[in-house]
A = this chain, B = another copy of it.
Amino acid sequence: MAKILKEIDETDRKILGELERNGRLSISTLAARVGMSGPSVTDRIRRMENTGIIRNFTVDIDVAELGYELAAIVRIKPRPGSLHIVEKMICDEPRFTSCDAVTGDDCFVCRLAFRAMKDLDGILQPFHDRAETNTAIVKSSPVRNRLPTERTL
């Protein structure tokens, strides 16, 4: 995948930038901002959805406001033979909000959202049969989910 490398021009980039800041922008204001007609913008968005550049339109929710006031980075290193089971256990625990499989000593680096300190042990305990875990509590998030760029803006 990521092989088609479709020609993505400046206009497409500008559309993506605007939509990243406000995913519900109307086609018409979007068209005005990039200097094009509505149908053209609609066309470009649909094309980017089809090629997979745009994965999804979504909403950025502050999970702390939903009661999940704590977050942790949990590194999980399955013991030999338990890799797939552990991966499934991670996927099945919905308080893991993201998980990357990585090279190196740890196999999984996960983000965990939880309500109170006392919940942490209960969430991680099932893993201790099949993996070693290393937990770091998140104090703050200086950078949150932005788009990479080559140049510093």
Choose among A58, A71, A134 the residue with the greatest number of B CB atoms under 10 Å from its CB.
A58
**How many interface residues does A have (CB within 8 Å)?**
78
A97 at the interface (CB under 8 A from B): yes
Number of copies: 2
The interface stretch among A31-39, A59-67, A125-133 is A59-67
Tell me the bound Cα distance from A30 to B2 in angstroms: 33
Chain B residue at minimum C-beta to C-beta distance from A53? B65
Which residues on the B side are within 8 Å of A63 (C-beta)? 147-148
A101 at the interface (CB under 8 A from B): yes
**Cβ contact within 8 Å between A143 and B110:** yes
A residues with CB within 8 A of B: 1-2, 5-6, 8, 16, 19-24, 51-69, 71-73, 87, 90-106, 108-111, 113-114, 134-153
16 CB-based A-B contacts, threshold 8 Å: A2-B64, A8-B66, A16-B59, A20-B58, A55-B60, A57-B57, A58-B58, A68-B148, A73-B100, A94-B150, A94-B153, A95-B148, A97-B147, A104-B135, A106-B136, A110-B143
Q: List the 3 shortest-distance A-B pairs measured between CB atoms, nearest first.
A: A23-B57, A102-B136, A99-B143
